[in-house]
A = this chain, B = another copy of it.
Amino acid sequence: MPCTGRDGFPADPAHIYLSAGASSGVNTLLNVMCVDKSTGILIPIPQYPLYTATLALLNATCVPYNLDESKAWGTDLDTIKKSYEKATAEGIDVRCIVIINPGNPTGASLSEDDVRAVIDFANQKNLVIMADEVYQTNVFVGKFHSVKGVLRQMQKENPGKYDSMELASLHSISKGMVGECGHRGGYFELVGFDPEVEANVYKYVSIMLCAPVISQCLVELMVNPPKQGEPSYELYNKEYTGIHEGLRERATALHKAFCQMEGVECAEPQGAMYLFPTIRLPKKAVDAAAAEGRQPDELYAHQLLDATGICVIPGSGFGQADGTLHFRTTFLAPGTEWVGSIVKFHQEFMDKYR
């Protein structure tokens, strides 16, 4: 029986593929879509490096498009167009655009308008959309707009216009309130895929036999949680809401702290499990990093780790606009007392290199 729970539009089990986490799904889809260096895939920058690593392995071309930090890391259609046009002018066959929503490492949650604009662009250029939506339940501001839900809405509003759209929508048990990363479970749904291409996805998936059984059970529990009136609903709801609220509280506390820190700017927490603040470091810190053969944000992250035991990832690990520096932090660790130690470290770091 088709499921309509998330988007209000049916999902057909015949087009849903279980995977060993979203990573395995991404790997499958990129393997099927990429031929060689001539194949281009539009990838948001900053991005979780699975994408660039897999494209490097497949010897395909990453076509980067920068997210717009001034719009809380939303997508900017002009930037996407320019990246697409530059790549096609160089003879690249751009086949797909990846959206990571909510974003890793940015923590952005895309507006419906942004999602609509990307769908429209992909439709014009005949691009597959690969929607990495593993953080879909980690949304703190507004609501999550799935590419599939928005696409189905656009198809309803404009009969015929978006009928040839191809969308792969990925989900995982590793994030959200489930957080069962170690079990390696997830799925992807193919929407509107050419049957011949989908047959190759099926073949590719078959070589790897199956997703781990326990993870398959966890996927089922995630997509079909206890419903109101069922015996475990109350406890489930209490735990689920508790985790969600805890993440929101820590995100807010961290954001508040970052806003007070000298030279730091940070968009309001919207989703995922991350904040990705800009940091402006003194020239002496930049020079000290260069002397050690490191990026300035790497120097900062290492010293933060040494001083506080808190591990953040330098923005250079995800890609960032030239001349900018960032770090990614999660707000997964319980409690908020550790937030103060970042503030204290930052002050000392700035004083040291001022």
A contact set with B: CB distance below 8 Å: 20-21, 23-24, 27, 31, 50, 53-54, 57, 181-184, 204, 207-215
CA–CA, A53 and B204, complex, Å: 9
- Contact partner of A20 (CB less than 8 A), chosen from B20, B31, B181, B204, is B20
Residues of B within 8 A of A53 (CB): 207
Cβ-defined contact, A23 with B207, below 8 A: yes
- Contact partner of A31 (CB less than 8 A), chosen from B57, B182, B212, is B57
CA–CA, A31 and B53, complex, Å: 13
Apart from A21-B209, A212-B215, 10 more pairs, CB < 8 Å = A23-B208, A24-B208, A50-B207, A57-B204, A57-B207, A182-B210, A183-B213, A184-B209, A184-B210, A214-B214
Closest to A207 in B: B53
- Contact partner of A214 (CB less than 8 A), chosen from B24, B181, B204, B212, is B212
- Contact partner of A23 (CB less than 8 A), chosen from B21, B209, B211, B215, is B209
Residues of B within 8 A of A183 (CB): 212-214
Residues of B within 8 A of A215 (CB): 212
Cβ-defined contact, B207 with A54, below 8 A: yes
CA–CA, A212 and B174, complex, Å: 12
Closest to A32 in B: B57
CA–CA, A70 and B224, complex, Å: 56
Closest to A36 in B: B59
Residues of B within 8 A of A210 (CB): 182, 184
Residues of B within 8 A of A57 (CB): 31, 204, 207
